[in-house]
Amino acid sequence: MSVRRLHATQPESFAFTPENIEWSKGQISKYPEGRQASAIIPLLWQAQKQEGWLSEPAIRTVADMLDMPYMRALEVATFYTMFNLSPVGEFFVQLCGTTPCWLRGADDLKSVCRKMIGEQGDITEDGKLSWLEVECLGACVNAPMVQINDDFYEDLTAESFEQVLTDLRAGKEVATGPQNTRHTSEPEGGLTVLKGTK
Amino acid sequence: MSDRIKVTVDGVDVEVEPGTTILQACEEAGAEIPRFCYHERLSVAGNCRMCLVEVERAPKPVASCAAPVAPDMVVFTQTDSVKAAREGVMEFLLINHPLDCPICDQGGECDLQDQALGYGGDASRFDDNKRAVEEKHMGPLVKTIMTRCIHCTRCVRFATEVAGVPEIGAIGRGEDMEITTYLEAALDSEMSGNVIDLCPVGALTSKPYAYTARPWELKKTETIDVMDAVGSNIRVDTRGREAMRILPRNHDDVNEEWLSDKSRFVWDGLNTQRLDTPYVRRDGKLAASTWNDAFAVIAEKIVGKADKLAAIAGDLVCAEGQFALKSLMDNLGSPHLDCRQDGAKLSGPRANYLFNTTIAGIEDADALLIIGANPRVEAPVLNSRIRKRFMMGQFPIAMIGAPADLTYEVSHIGAGTDTLADLLAGQHGFADVLKNAQRPMILVGQAALARDDGDAVLAAAIQLAENSGAISPTWNGFNVLHLAAARVAGLDLGLLPGEGGKDTAGILQAANSGEVETVILYGADEIAGAALGDAFVIYIGSHGDRGAHRADVILPSAAYTEKQAIYVNTEGRPQMTERAAFPPGEAREDWKIFRALSDHLAVTLDFDTVEALRVKMFAVAPHLAQLDQIEPAAAPQAPQAGTMASDAFGVAVEDFYFTNPIARASATMAACAKAKGERAPAKQGTGSHG
């Protein structure tokens, strides 16, 4: 886990879209009067969804909406690793490097990232791709895997991962989930037990 | 009492209230529990783990600061398991703590140092690199060396809970956790210096004091602060003649253990701009002189012309000096004497000018109306007591006057006398709030009193207090918040215009018209020099400030840290300062100056020692002899007064950091004012990373 700090260059301002403001009001209304601060994580998350990352003005905007001190909002934003405090690519790859994925070839996937994108945190010139190594994402049974934006791409090899990145970059549809013949987390090559039941 | 709980600590039985923590019970039983994060005036965090104790039938050590006692609990604080736990916690704390005690300002008075010695192991087993943390900017007062931080979060809790400026926080997590202010802005608080005392290590230290002295080479003098009218208890640390720093002392009824930034950091003002020899103006220029010369010049002006003499006492002067001045004026037969250089319309029965509820009494109040005051800058420590009461809940607060952020929720109901009149007529909603309250408080500030219709405002406020039931045999909810440490003593001793005498405004007018030819300014520095016309001005004071610039003769006197003297705070509590250092050069204690002057004017004062002076003073105001006791005043009496003008109340303290000559001489205060000016526009946020 790296040191999580605000990005060196920040935008001038941040504003939620009208739809997001409506959505935020809905989130805030879930909590009783005087407890609006409880909505901090959903709102920060929505701000990140809108911009791709959390800027300092965005943190301030959310704090103002919830009537809480800026410092308290900053504490939350820097605590949770799911908040990106620096800009990311349009397709943000979170690559699992924890033991099961590592044993199943996560290092090869990292090499692909380095080749196609660069070092961690770098964004490709077209703004399409960036990557970060993360801890276990809970899909060990389909190791090695990555998460790109909201979806898992599993059972990767260097070749299939490169193909996924290339296709995403080109704007093609890519099937999520296992990138080999497996169906979800069933055994590779089809079921092997409980086949005889009629 | 039957509902108390019996607890056994190391074989000692104690009975404590339910809800007491194990740590408090242990202290009651005389067992010392080491701690870093726990502080009795802050909320419980329970994150340092240093206070682990063993509790019978508990499977593992218990953090005593966060665990409440249970009936018949048996606690052990000296067992092997407790010692091992403490040693373990200590080892973890020291893993990332630098070994820089020899160059650390906290060295010698460091909780971590002391407890590592007392409870820690002998050597480190940690061979890897220690973590290092970037310095954080926290303004001109607080120096940070964040590598030393052990994340006790005392500073975070203080800023949020006591100071009411939730600007300090912990960012990141785990090993990367760092304490900082938002975008490293200076803390926007008049109480920020207290985080230095709270910090158990050398992470937050005093910037002005940095690398100047070690605690063991300082002489410590317990005395009283005079920067505001609260009378905070302080300790002045001196080396030789020089004040090196000022720290708060605990006094539960006054300042608890807090201190305002002005009181804490003003000490460099005590060492600069000092008047150390008498001066006499010759050919338009002030020239150093001798006491006898200066007295001779004064005698020439005063003897035989006492009816054309007037005197004004200032904000920082002591009771003894004021009594000597009054005695001198009485002997000379001049009635033109006033201690209210701001022109506040205060006099009459004692209850009319005291903070009758008392500072500790704020905690018993259940509604508050503030009239023409901004306690946050006028008395920061008192303001945090109001905030403490506010945090307990059920405490509606309303305010009439210039709007201000007081660090708690205040409904601003009006700007001036109109709203006060509405309240008096019962035409405002808050009148009912006051009426329905059991123990309402009304706090009147100098901005409401130091104006031409001040006595009418005072009368209206007293009337309102009576109407609201704020004054009863058991509760006195009428309060005047003073700005000057000298004022209550001055009013107690009757430094007011005598029969046919002129008040401050009258004196200034007469000085311009020539009716008054000589004016004694006794530490009075808040009067613009031009306002004194062509009068011959004698300035008696400690600092070369406004008064000295205008003066024709300067008599140098001792500052508040250089004499043993009585000051009476806004509650009417007399407290005595002690001498931490001798006054510089030729400067003398105030009463001695008046005594010597009286000889030259052939009206010798009949006391030769300060003890003799005090005997006479106590005859006039017996309550001054009861140090640290408040003589309860009777009910306030609304004075006969005209009608209130309809304009809004002004602001009594324009700049918190420059309210008196000592503060104006302080480079630290100037730096604070500059930092405050710089942060004002930045507060709206520029969007750029700080």
pLDDT digits (tens, 9 = 90+) for B33-75: 999 999 999 999 999 999 999 999 999 999 999 999 999 999 9
Label residue B304 exposed, middle or buried (CB < 10 Å: 0-12, 13-18, 19+).
Answer: exposed
User: Would you say residue A173 lies in a domain?
Assistant: yes
Phi, psi of A161 (to 5 degrees): -65, -40
User: Would you say residue A48 lies in a domain?
Assistant: yes
User: Would you say residue A105 lies in a domain?
Assistant: yes
Q: B690 to chain A, minimum CA–CA distance in Å?
A: 9
Give the orientation angle of helix B610-620 with respect to helix B319-332, to 10 degrees. 80
Q: A108 and A170 share a domain? A: yes
Q: A100 and A162 share a domain? A: yes
pLDDT, tens digit (0-9, with 9 covering 90-100), for B217-251: 999 999 999 999 999 999 999 999 899 999 999 99
Q: What is the ipTM of this complex?
A: 0.89
User: Would you say residue A185 lies in a domain?
Assistant: no
Q: A70 and A125 share a domain? A: no
Q: A126 and A66 share a domain? A: no
Angle at B473 between CA B470 and CA B474, to 5 degrees: 75
**Chain A partners within 8 Å of B166 (Cβ):** 69, 71-72
Give the orientation angle of helix A56-65 with respect to helix A70-79, to 10 degrees. 120
A173 confidence band (pLDDT: 50, 70, 90): very high
B620 confidence band (pLDDT: 50, 70, 90): very high
Identity (one letter) of the amino acid at B639?
P
The per-residue pLDDT for B375 is 96
Q: A72 and A100 share a domain? A: no
B689 confidence band (pLDDT: 50, 70, 90): very low
A191 confidence band (pLDDT: 50, 70, 90): confident
What does the mean pLDDT of chain A come to?
A: 93
Query: Which residue from B114, B163, B161 is spatially nearest to B138, judged by alpha carbons?
Result: B163
The per-residue pLDDT for B684 is 41
Query: Which residue from B255, B198, B151, B264 is spatially nearest to B40, judged by alpha carbons?
Result: B198
How many CB pairs below 8 Å do chains A and B form together? Answer: 53
pLDDT, tens digit (0-9, with 9 covering 90-100), for B443-462: 999 999 999 999 999 999 99
Q: In this prediction, what percent of chain B has a pLDDT beyond 70?
A: 98
The per-residue pLDDT for B503 is 95
Q: What is the domain count for chain A? A: 2
Q: A63 and A99 share a domain? A: no
Q: A40 and A70 share a domain? A: yes
> Among A110-114, A121-125, B254-258, B639-643, which is the least confidently predicted range?
B639-643
Q: How far is CA B71 from the centre of its chain?
A: 42
Q: A55 and A22 share a domain? A: yes
pLDDT, tens digit (0-9, with 9 covering 90-100), for B358-400: 999 999 999 999 999 999 999 999 999 999 999 999 999 999 9
Question: Among residues 42-61 of chain A, which lie with CB inside 8 Å of chain B?
Answer: 56-57, 60
pLDDT, tens digit (0-9, with 9 covering 90-100), for B531-576: 999 999 999 999 999 999 999 999 999 999 999 999 999 999 999 9
B682 confidence band (pLDDT: 50, 70, 90): very low
Q: A69 and A115 share a domain? A: no
| Alpha carbons B450 and B623: distance in angstroms, whole number | 26
Look at A78 and B171 and tell me if their CB atoms are within 8 Å.
yes
Identity (one letter) of the amino acid at A52?
G
User: Would you say residue A197 lies in a domain?
Assistant: no
The pTM of the whole model exceeds 0.90: yes
Does residue B686 have a pLDDT over 50? no
Does residue B685 have a pLDDT over 50? no
User: Would you say residue A27 lies in a domain?
Assistant: yes
Looking at the partner chain, which of A3, A8, A69 has a beta carbon nearest the beta carbon of B172? A3
| Alpha carbons B657 and B669: distance in angstroms, whole number | 5
Cβ atoms of B133 and B101 closer than 8 Å: no
User: Would you say residue A75 lies in a domain?
Assistant: yes
Does residue B690 have a pLDDT over 80? no
CB of A74 within 8 Å of a chain B CB? The answer is yes
Give the range of the structural domain holding residue A134, as residue numbers without chain letter: 91-178
Q: A96 and A74 share a domain? A: no
**Chain A partners within 8 Å of B132 (Cβ):** none
User: Would you say residue A190 lies in a domain?
Assistant: no
User: How much is the average pLDDT of B578-595?
Assistant: 96
> What are B681-688's contacts with CB under 8 Å, separation 24+?
B682/B185, B683/B188, B685/A57, B685/A60, B687/A10, B687/A11, B687/A12, B687/A13, B687/A56, B687/A57, B688/A10
| Alpha carbons B376 and B189: distance in angstroms, whole number | 9
Cβ atoms of B127 and B163 closer than 8 Å: no
Q: A99 and A148 share a domain? A: yes
The per-residue pLDDT for B607 is 95
CATH of the domain at A36: 1.10.10.1590
**Chain B partners within 8 Å of A78 (Cβ):** 171-173
User: How much is the average pLDDT of B598-621?
Assistant: 96
**Chain B partners within 8 Å of A8 (Cβ):** 689
What does the mean pLDDT of chain B come to?
A: 94
CATH of the domain at A115: 3.40.30.10
Q: A47 and A96 share a domain? A: no
pLDDT, tens digit (0-9, with 9 covering 90-100), for A13-68: 999 999 999 999 999 999 999 899 999 999 999 999 999 999 999 999 999 999 99
